[in-house]
Structure 1
Amino acid sequence: MAGLCAIGGIMGYIKGRSVVSLVAGVGIGSIYFFAGHRIQKNQSMGHDIALGASTLLLCAMGPKAFRTRAPVPLVMTTLGTASAVYSAKKGYEEVYGV
C-alpha cells in the first residue's frame, strides 16, 4: 500500500500537475511505510497506524470514486477498504489476543 499510494500520488502530479495528489499520495504512502516497519519489527500500534492511513485514503479517494467512477479512485478506494478491514482485524487480535 505504501508503494501504491506514493506511485499514485506521483502519477497524479505528472498527469494533472496536481500538487494535492502528490502530497496526499506520498504522505499516506509514508504513513503506510511507517506502519509496515512497526509491524515488521513486532512493535505495537503498527496495525492501528495502518488503519489510520487506510481511513485517510478512504476519506480522500472515496468521494472522488463515487463522483467520477474513474478507475484509479475506485481501485484505491477498494484497496483502502480491504486494508482497513485487515488492519482493524489484526489490531483487534493484537490487543485481545484472539
Structure 2
Amino acid sequence: MTPDQNALVLSFLLTVGGLIGYLRKKSKVSLIAGTALGANFAWASKLMERGSSQGINYAFYGSLVLLASSGPRFYKSRKPVPMILTVLGVISTWYFYRLWA
C-alpha cells in the first residue's frame, strides 16, 4: 500500500471508531476526536496523492497526537480500545516518521 492509502485507511478506522464510541457509550469526545483525526488523515492522504510533502507532515503529526492521547489512557485503564489506539499510534508514528525524516 502507498502512504496515501495508509493514511486513508487510518482516516476510515478513526472516523468509524469515533462514531461507534459515540453510538455505544454516548461519548462525544470519541466522536469529535475520531472525526477530527479522521479528517486530518483524509486531508493528509489527499495531499500525498497530489504529491505534496505536507501530507506526510499531517500524517506524522496526526499519528503523534493519536499516540500521545491514547498511550496514557491505555497505561491507566489497560482496556482494549485504548490499547488498539495506542498500537495504531505506535505503528503509524513509526511508519510516517520513516517517510518524514
TM-score by length of 2: 0.86
Deviation string, structure 1 residues 6-54 (Cα, Å, up to 9, x no partner):
0111111111111111000000010011111111111121111101111
Find the counterpart in structure 2 of residue 21 from structure 1.
Answer: 30
1:4 aligns with 2:8: no
Q: Which residue of 1 aligns with 2:95?
A: 86
Residue matched to 2:47: 38
Percent identity of paired positions between Structure 1 and Structure 2: 33
Amino acid at match of 2:40: I
Normalised by the size of structure 1, how large is the TM-score? 0.88
What do you get for the CA RMSD once the two structures are aligned? 0.9
CA distance in 2, matches of 1:82, 1:88: 10
Output the CA distance in 1 between the equivalents of 2:29 and 2:23. Answer: 12
Residue 80 of structure 1 and its aligned partner are, at CA, apart by: 1.0
| Greater than 6 Å deviation, 4+ residue runs | none
Q: SS where residue 51 of structure 2 aligns?
A: coil
| Paired residue total | 92
- Structure 2 unpaired stretches of 5+: 1-9
